[in-house]
Structure 1
Amino acid sequence: MAPTLRPRRSALYLPGNNARALEKGKTLPADVLIFDLEDAVGPDAKTTSRQQVCEAVSSDAYRPREVVVRINGLGTDWHEEDLAAVAECGADAVLVPKVDTGQQVEALVASLDRLGAPKSVQLWAMIETPRAFLRIEEIVSASDRLAVLVVGTNDLVNELHALHVPGRAPVVPALALAVLGARVAGKAVLDGVFNDITDEAGFAAEARQGREMGFDGKTLIHPSQVAPANEVFGPSEKELADAAKIVRAYEQAQAAGRSVITVDGRMIESLHVRDAQRILALAERISELQAHTG
């Protein structure tokens, strides 16, 4: 199964208590804006930040970007009120941290239904604990409303008692499980954040690793990371040229009644055609988004 074809190359967290950051978000070319009510907001500012974020989301000033709100996790003092507010504020999705089980997904979906959230409001789940990765198939299979997995690498490294190192060797097995689980169930999957906003080369290397592993995009903590993420996770000129050539050869073969297709001496199978069609369709969606966001 393939996830819904929507550009999610760059997903930028915007602190829910920072009015200046929320205003700047209107001008940034990120595919996804994640309004954060969790880590970025201290306990004393939770209520006012919730109101500020919901007013911003309701304004539609951030369209046509995908608008998501990260709420406080299950069991926290603010979770229920966060969920109720996001259910009716017009966001595309609610992102819930530390989702560990399929049962939690089912409970979250039931709560959204009870709160009257439109069916268009998706559930996004942060996968950031060892338990979650070991239950990935259970989580992704729990509901069709679950659309996107977001890997929380910082929490995962912490819970593993591991280290943040170039190449991310300690968490590569978990990253692979996340991608496998997402693809089995037709979900999108976003890579975790890169913490050092001054290390441009390090960010580029980690983004390339994520792209090579199959992630749809990367979550970001600073506007400077948007452009490089868009470049890495978007189809390259070569990918687009190759995809167009494959689709053209397929169409010509179909018209001529031929079943054997070759491109540049390489045998082309149906899986290559499907992937080429996906790449071209994604590029078209990216062009449409860029026409409105710059």
Structure 2
Amino acid sequence: MTQVFRPPRPSRSLLCLPGSNERAIAKLPSLAMDGVILDLEDAVADSEKDAARDKIRAFFEAPPIDGVERIIRINDVASRHAEKDLALVLETSPDAVLIPKVRSPSDILDVVAHLSDNDAAETIRIWAMMETPLSILNAGAIAETGRTAGGRLDALVVGLNDLRKDTGVLPDLDRTFVTPWLMQVVLAGRAYGLRVIDAVCNEFRDLERFDRECATGRAMGFDGKMLIHPAQIPAANSRYRPSPVEIAEAEEIIAGFSAPGADQLNALDIGGRMVERLHYEQALALKARADLIARRDP
């Protein structure tokens, strides 16, 4: 299978807000997150669903925030709220729709079919919340739906709160017993060229703990983190930014494969190590992402 690489668009910090919180939504243009997830699911009571949709609709009627992805998290596709949520998605054309409680590939494919049947723009992508035991068991098959004909899946987002609830695994500072699940999501995402987003840190006032989670998530291979408070944005942006060493290595690889005659080669000796063309494509993606971040967040 031909390797498909992640888009360069940065997703270091993804702030999740209840769609019903008009005051918090109004503050978004002053914040420096890479993306915002407007939630219609757990954070919004049943009695507030319609009002939340109205507030989200108003947000999309305003000019977009430069460089910020806009994602709508709908309710469970099996719920009575999903039809109205998807109608809102078709009306507002967000960058992505985040599907909660994903269990199997069919949860993704059903939404893909609904969007296609309603002539939704291809720019509306799908993100999957990996927050059920079945989502972890089926991670590879779920990720593969992004590489089928007409597939829209671009990202996997871990939801540890629901996973812990469903499995009985207790929270701990090092996330010891859920780390294998986190790595399973990273592996599935990388196998199919998807972005992978780490779970929220519920202790939003404990910024030291949050910074630690960002550091370990970055080491695991995640692209960014889902946030629940604006105070978490700076640490996420800093930790998930490509380092100067990574950028320098990418530039060296790009220069090597851009040299005269290198276009016919699949591997090069760069700095005493063998580098394959695969790494050249990865270097291009990293450099493009770093350049975007530098323009937004010097």
Quote the residue 1:115 is aligned against: 118
**Equivalent of 1:47 in 44, 50, 56:** 50
> Deviations 1:70-102 (Å, cap 9, x if unpaired)?
111122221110111112213111111001111
Distance 2:297 2:161 in 1: 30
Distance 2:201 2:23 in 1: 22
Deviation at 1:49, TM superposition (A): 0.7
In the alignment, does 2:157 pair up with 1:150? yes
Instruction: Confirm or deny: 8 A CA contact 1:58 1:91 kept in the other structure.
Output: no
Quote the residue 1:89 is aligned against: 92
Moved more, 277-286 or 170-179: 277-286
Deviation at 1:15, TM superposition (A): 1.7
* Residue identity matched to 2:270: T
**Superposition pairs for residues 1-294 of structure 1, below 5 Å?**
1-143=4-146, 144-252=151-259, 254=261, 260-263=268-271, 265-290=272-297
- SS for the counterpart of 1:120 is coil
RMSD: 2.1
Deviation at 1:279, TM superposition (A): 2.0
Distance 1:170 1:93 in 2: 30
- SS for the counterpart of 2:66 is coil
* Residue identity matched to 2:112: V
- SS for the counterpart of 1:13 is strand
Deviation at 1:68, TM superposition (A): 0.4
- SS for the counterpart of 1:72 is coil
Distance 1:279 1:113 in 2: 31
Distance 2:256 2:109 in 1: 45
- SS for the counterpart of 1:284 is helix
Distance 1:253 1:225 in 2: 46
Distance 2:161 2:260 in 1: 49
Distance 2:255 2:193 in 1: 27
Distance 2:239 2:79 in 1: 36
Are the structure 2 counterparts of residues 274 and 160 from structure 1 closer, same or farther at C-alpha, using a change threshold of 3 Å? same
Are the structure 2 counterparts of residues 114 and 269 from structure 1 closer, same or farther at C-alpha, using a change threshold of 3 Å? closer
Instruction: Confirm or deny: 8 A CA contact 1:73 1:97 kept in the other structure.
Output: yes
Segments of 5+ residues of structure 2 without an aligned counterpart are: none
* Residue identity matched to 2:269: I
Deviation at 1:245, TM superposition (A): 3.3
Distance 2:231 2:46 in 1: 28
- SS for the counterpart of 2:211 is helix
Deviation at 1:7, TM superposition (A): 0.6
Instruction: Confirm or deny: 8 A CA contact 2:5 2:282 kept in the other structure.
Output: no
Instruction: Confirm or deny: 8 A CA contact 2:6 2:193 kept in the other structure.
Output: yes
Deviation at 1:271, TM superposition (A): 4.2
- SS for the counterpart of 2:52 is helix
Aligned length: 290
Instruction: Confirm or deny: 8 A CA contact 2:157 2:198 kept in the other structure.
Output: yes
Are the structure 2 counterparts of residues 186 and 19 from structure 1 closer, same or farther at C-alpha, using a change threshold of 3 Å? same
Distance 2:116 2:259 in 1: 48
> Deviations 1:268-292 (Å, cap 9, x if unpaired)?
444443333322111112234448x
> Deviations 1:140-182 (Å, cap 9, x if unpaired)?
2224211111111111111110111122111111111111111
The percent identity for this pair of structures is 38
Instruction: Confirm or deny: 8 A CA contact 1:34 1:67 kept in the other structure.
Output: yes
* Residue identity matched to 1:35: L
Moved more, 106-115 or 273-282: 273-282
> Deviations 1:117-160 (Å, cap 9, x if unpaired)?
21211111111011111111221222421111111111111111
Deviation at 1:250, TM superposition (A): 4.5
Deviation at 1:266, TM superposition (A): 4.2
Are the structure 2 counterparts of residues 166 and 253 from structure 1 closer, same or farther at C-alpha, using a change threshold of 3 Å? farther
